[in-house]
């Protein structure tokens, strides 16, 4: 039809347009609305209280009420728990994963490498819900662990293994482990082994080779893994809801509760944005880091 070929730039825009529209309308706009609502107030029966005089509302400082409320010790305690659990999860995953990734990338026989990697990829993609449920099944009062404990006479009666911090941590570590192994593997695979040999030849002890060569060389993978585990742990909802009890509420549960049970959307929105801000800050730091290292990010 048109004799002239379309200008390349126009083709690019046309190809990107459906995504811009979809994500603009159904992603950015909803986030913007949620942000605005976080400054609002809840009406008596849920919903939003209409604002009569916007100027007065802003001047009175009421628009910050939800954010102020989130600083109440009850909620601070929830945020604190979310943070330390995410930190513990990340550290445990890092320590547990590093030797596994090293084994797959360096030590394992080459013919097994694909299989070993595939075995990590499968849980990476499979349902978090079902993998969490598996632990509920194992740890519950009538579960396998308790049957073993009671059956072997180690304890007199079944222990309450579910609905506490321990169960939530197990679920988090179990769920996030593949997200640490994969980026570590990607970095270790690129590790130049001759550097390690050179270091050993020059008389460095194994531990100093590890700390001064292996770790710095694989730092991009370590940082990526830390981000990939820490960020989802911070916003976790399923694990704490299923394996945790009333005392193990995390930020994710608090948000969900405000929307589904308490019907206080403005407060839920404010907490959601605090969580988002924390996540974006971390990612911003990560982007700066990768830029400094001159690496390409995923896309």
User: Between residues 65 and 108, which has the closer beta carbon with respect to another protein?
Assistant: 108
* Gyration radius (Cα) of the chain, Å: 25
User: Between residues 56 and 198, which has the closer beta carbon with respect to another protein?
Assistant: 198
Q: Residue 214 and residue 199: Cα distance in Å, rounded? A: 10
User: Between residues 52 and 130, which has the closer beta carbon with respect to another protein?
Assistant: 130
Residues in 214-243 at the binding interface with another protein, rule: CB under 8 A:
231-232, 234-235, 237-238, 242
Residues in 135-154 at the binding interface with another protein, rule: CB under 8 A:
135-138, 140, 142-144, 146-147
Q: How far is the CB of 47 from another protein (least distance, A)?
A: 8
Max Cα-Cα span within the chain: 86
**Which of 20, 80, 84, 211 is in the footprint of another protein by CB under 8 A?**
20
Q: Does 166 bind another protein (CB under 8 A)?
A: no
Burial of 182 (0-12, 13-18, 19+ CB in 10 A): buried
156: tokens are 């007199």
Cβ(255)–Cβ(268) under 8 Å?
Answer: yes
Total of chain residues touching another protein, rule CB under 8 A:
85
Which of the ranges 52-60, 68-76, 102-110, 183-191 carries the binding residues for another protein, by CB under 8 A?
102-110
CA 172, 173, 174 angle in degrees (round to 5)?
90
User: Between residues 59 and 118, which has the closer beta carbon with respect to another protein?
Assistant: 118
Q: Residue 128 and residue 122: Cα distance in Å, rounded? A: 12
Closest Cα partner for 108 from 188, 32, 53?
A: 188
Residues in 279-298 at the binding interface with another protein, rule: CB under 8 A:
279, 283, 297-298
Q: Does 172 bind another protein (CB under 8 A)?
A: no
**Helix ranges, the chain (H):** 8-23, 29-37, 54-60, 65-69, 73-102, 110-125, 128-139, 144-151, 165-189, 193-201, 206-209, 215-217, 219-234, 238-243, 251-260, 265-293
Residues in 103-132 at the binding interface with another protein, rule: CB under 8 A:
103-104, 107-108, 114, 116, 118-123, 125-131
Q: Does 208 bind another protein (CB under 8 A)?
A: no
Residues in 28-47 at the binding interface with another protein, rule: CB under 8 A:
28-31, 33-34, 37
Cβ(131)–Cβ(123) under 8 Å?
Answer: yes
Q: Does 23 bind another protein (CB under 8 A)?
A: yes
Q: Residue 297 and residue 219: Cα distance in Å, rounded? A: 15
Q: How far is the CB of 200 from another protein (least distance, A)?
A: 10
Residues in 178-207 at the binding interface with another protein, rule: CB under 8 A:
178
């Amino acid at each position: 039809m048109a004799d002239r070929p379309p200008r390349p730039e126009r083709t690019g825009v046309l190809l990107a347009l459906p995504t811009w529209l979809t994500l603009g309308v159904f992603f950015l706009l909803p986030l913007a609305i949620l942000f605005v609502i976080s400054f609002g107030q809840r009406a008596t029966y849920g919903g939003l209280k209409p604002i009569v005089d916007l100027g007065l509302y802003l001047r009175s400082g009421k628009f910050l009420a939800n954010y102020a409320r989130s600083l109440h010790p009850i909620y601070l305690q929830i945020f604190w728990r979310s943070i330390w659990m995410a930190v513990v999860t990340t550290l445990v995953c890092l320590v547990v994963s590093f030797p596994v990734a090293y084994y797959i990338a360096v030590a394992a026989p080459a013919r097994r490498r694909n299989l070993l990697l595939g075995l990590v990829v499968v849980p990476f993609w499979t349902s978090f819900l079902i993998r969490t449920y598996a632990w509920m099944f194992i740890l519950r009062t009538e579960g396998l662990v308790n049957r073993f404990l009671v059956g072997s006479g180690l304890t007199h009666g079944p222990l309450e293994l579910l609905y506490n911090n321990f169960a939530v941590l197990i679920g988090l570590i179990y769920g996030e482990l593949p997200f640490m192994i994969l980026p570590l593997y990607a970095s270790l695979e690129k590790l130049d082994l001759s550097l390690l040999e050179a270091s050993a030849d020059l008389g460095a002890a194994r531990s100093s080779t590890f700390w001064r060569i292996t770790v710095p060389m694989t730092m991009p993978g370590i940082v990526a893994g830390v981000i990939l585990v820490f960020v989802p742990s911070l916003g976790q909802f399923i694990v704490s809801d299923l394996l945790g009890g009333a005392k193990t509420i995390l930020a994710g549960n608090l948000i969900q509760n405000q929307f589904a049970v308490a019907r206080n959307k403005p407060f839920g929105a404010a907490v959601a944005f605090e969580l988002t801000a924390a996540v974006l800050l971390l990612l911003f730091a990560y982007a700066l880091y990768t830029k400094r290292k001159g690496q390409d990010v995923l896309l």
